[in-house]
Amino acid sequence: MNATRSLSTLESKLDSLQCHFTWGLDPSRSKLLHVRDNLEDIGTQEGYSWLGHIYNLQGFIHCQLGLTEDACRFFSRATETFRQIRNTVSDEGQWLVVSYGNLAWLHHQLGERAQSLGYISKVDALINEYALPFPNELHPEIYAEKAWTLMKFGKDSNLLAADYFQRAIGMQPGMVEWQTSHVIALVNACSHHDKNLGADIFKKLKLTKEQDQANLYLAALYLEACADKGINIENEARELARMVLRKPVSSYSGIQPLLRLYRRYVSMDEAVDLAEEAVERHPDKRYLKKCAATCYKWRILSQKDNPLEHSMINRAISLCKEVISLYPHSSFKMQVTLADIYAKSNTTQAAADQIYVELLQSDLDPKEAQILYSYYAKYLHFNQKQIYKSIEFHMKAAAIPQQSSYRDNSIRNLEKIRERNKNKMCGEIHEFLEKLHH
């Protein structure tokens, strides 16, 4: 009885900790593997300010994947990195609350009760030593790490992340990287196709860019926001591209939002050229190859009238295949992209079919399944002329209760078919949509 009560007390204490294990992060294997790859692509040089956070999140991911030795190694790196970066007289500080909480959970999952309790005691000591004058508020360091972590788990978390960053900044206003991430979270919460940032967010973006001039990722977002307002940014974009190409390769370098900016407001062909130049400069960097493959997808799928050059399709296919091999555990979207590119050529329809068949038979989480059904429905309609089967897959995509642009697109397609009232499945579609909306 005492042992049961003791375990219950320990679990209650663990649940009350502020750390990755208690923040409600998406535990699906596909999401964990995707985030793990994204963290690796940040690199240690460009992501230096967030290195402790990167190691903490890597530790959590590896623990969730059952790789406890790797998890322990990453958590140890996190605590050491925080001590080095803070460079304070004391080795201890509120920035270690999350790290110690993670270690308490890790040792609990390993069945090492004494070590787990030891880290819980360390957390309690830090909280008591650095007590805040405000009840029910977290330390700014905890707010910032929680916000940064949430940003890595998808667009849906960006507004909450922005709120946590705002709280952290309110208590500790001197951290430039927090202010930058706060603004990036606000911008990311808006659609790339309909940003409409609003005067308040645009003003914050401009001010933060001036404060953090070395951050080229932020600079690219600012130029994109200017272009959204009708300002000509072509010269500034090309100048920024030269600067980005000189930076260490990283998903933080600004290359990804810059390529999107080129695609929308400069030139699709120049976007491809810029991506190819980046790959040529750093042929061993997988992240740049992924960016280049995405550029080719944009270029090929935007071609409406003129026939595509075989050399362009071949290069796109080659890049996609290479990226899939370089991201073996998080290449789902690239596989769909490859199928989409195959479908654009009359000579490679069979290859597109094969990819879709294999993906449909694979183990997908609901979000991935929704994306696949939406793409496959369009493929069936436009390439295979299988209208009824296409409708069935639009229904499958819409039936998954995961809010996304893919679901919205499938619903819009079904509504258009119903409104035209020329398809024998209109009655079935009407009944389906009625159930969906209630």
- 3 state SS of 137: coil
- 3 state SS of 329: coil
Give the Cα separation of 122 and 104 in Å (integer): 10
- Sequence-distant (6+) residues with CB within 8 A of 348 are 313, 317, 342
Residue 427 vs residue 195, higher pLDDT = 427
* Mean pLDDT along residues 277-289: 98
Residues composing the chain: 438
* Mean pLDDT along residues 164-191: 95
Question: What is the DSSP track for 36-51?
Answer: HHHHHHH-TTTTGGGH
| pLDDT over threshold 70, residue 49 | yes
Residue 154 vs residue 299, higher pLDDT = 299
Q: What is the pLDDT of residues 65-99, one digit of tens each?
A: 999 999 999 999 999 999 888 866 566 889 999 99
| pLDDT over threshold 50, residue 400 | yes
H or E element, residue 120: helix 113-129
| pLDDT over threshold 90, residue 243 | yes
**C-beta separation of 218 from 183 below 8 A:** yes
Scanning 65-112, the segments in alpha helix (DSSP H) are 68-86, 97-109
Range of weakest confidence among 86-100, 202-216, 373-387: 86-100
Question: Which pLDDT score is estimated for 1?
Answer: 45
The Cβ of residue 245 has, within 10 Å, a number of other Cβ atoms equal to 16
pTM of the model: 0.93
Please give the DSSP secondary-structure letter assigned to residue 251: T
Tokens for 306, please give them: 């003129």
Among positive and negative, which fits the CA dihedral 216, 218, 222, 228? Answer: positive
Domains and CATH numbers, the chain: 1-131 (1.25.40.10)
Question: Which pLDDT score is estimated for 194?
Answer: 55
- Sequence-distant (6+) residues with CB within 8 A of 330 are 30, 33, 34, 36, 37
Give the Cα separation of 90 and 61 in Å (integer): 29
Give the Cα separation of 271 and 255 in Å (integer): 10
The Cβ of residue 184 has, within 10 Å, a number of other Cβ atoms equal to 22
Tokens for 417, please give them: 């078919």
H or E element, residue 384: none
Which of 326, 348, 350, 321 shows the shortest CA–CA distance to 337?
321
Q: Residue 102: which pLDDT band, with cuts at 50, 70 and 90?
A: very high
Among positive and negative, which fits the CA dihedral 127, 131, 135, 141? Answer: negative
Question: What is the DSSP track for 254-319?
Answer: SHHHHHHHIIIII-HHHHHHHHHHHHHH-TT-HHHHHHHHHHHHHHHHT--SSPPPHHHHHHHHHH
Which of 142, 160, 150, 143 shows the shortest CA–CA distance to 25?
150
* Mean pLDDT along residues 314-320: 96
Q: What is the pLDDT of residues 328-354, one digit of tens each?
A: 999 999 999 999 999 988 788 999 999
Question: Which pLDDT score is estimated for 88?
Answer: 63
Please give the DSSP secondary-structure letter assigned to residue 133: S
Give the Cα separation of 176 and 43 in Å (integer): 20
Q: What is the pLDDT of residues 358-380, one digit of tens each?
A: 999 999 999 999 999 999 999 99
